[in-house]
Amino acid sequence: AMPIKVFFHDDFYNVYTSDPAAESGRMEAVVKELEGKVEWMPIAPIAIEKVEMVHSREQIERVKRQGVYDIAFLSAGGACQAAELSLKETCFALIRPPGHHASSNNAWGFCYFSNMAIAVKSLIDRNLIKSAYVLDIDMHFGDGTDNILKSDDNVIVHNIETEDRIEYMKEIEDAMSKCQTDLIAISAGFDNHVDDWGGVLETEDYERIGHLTSVAAKRCNAGLFGILEGGYNHDVLGRNTLALL
């Protein structure tokens, strides 16, 4: 099998704020684990219109005032490029800041722009897909992605909210066995791992999630990609990311 393509940019090493998502060593931990096992893909700038399609002028200005516009924009770009490539081959965007708590006119929880919503909407807007299934496995409810995409009847946003490991995996299994879609997009937060904040999943569960989504994507003839959201224990983040890939 060909190594999976992972979108990344050296600027993601920069510590852009004092929050846990921006912490020093976080991206290094993942890159170290993936090095030699994936094909690194550069992130090119995207059109500002893609962000404006999802976010208000006020929100964009607010992000500029916070001094994180460039890095947030680059992160959204990585998500968009992964989404587009996923229609040809499965891939991943190793990006930060995360995005699933960013709504069109506000953001919290270490997020600024809704990377996932921007990526999905940019494909729908260009008629590359008609429908999408967003699976959010982060321990926190992705309210931003949900707020932005829930008005679209052709997009399902599915947050796994149980704290029971068996139920958690069963819910994903059921969802993936039934879904009919053009695109499966994983908001991959790894903070639900036993050694992270959530304390629910084992590393092998991420491998299983990768398998279940892959089988579903093949069955639907759909694109499949993931983007990094949460995950704060640097000792296990790389291993968990690799397990999903």
**Is the Cβ–Cβ distance between 227 and 97 less than 8 Å?**
no
Residue 101 annotated to the active site: yes
Query: How far is 216 from 206, CA to CA, in rounded Å?
Result: 15
Of 229, 241, 233, 197, residue with least CA distance to 113: 229
Token look-up 């999802």 returns 54
Q: Which of 55, 101, 140, 193 is catalytic?
A: 101
DSSP 3-state of 60: helix
Query: How far is 62 from 230, CA to CA, in rounded Å?
Result: 22
Q: Are strands 132-136 and 39-41 parallel, antiparallel or unpaired?
A: unpaired
Of 139, 243, 244, 242, residue with least CA distance to 194: 139
Q: Residue 40 carries which side chain, given as an amino acid letter?
A: W
Q: How far is residue 151 CA from its own chain's centroid?
A: 20
Known catalytic residues are 101
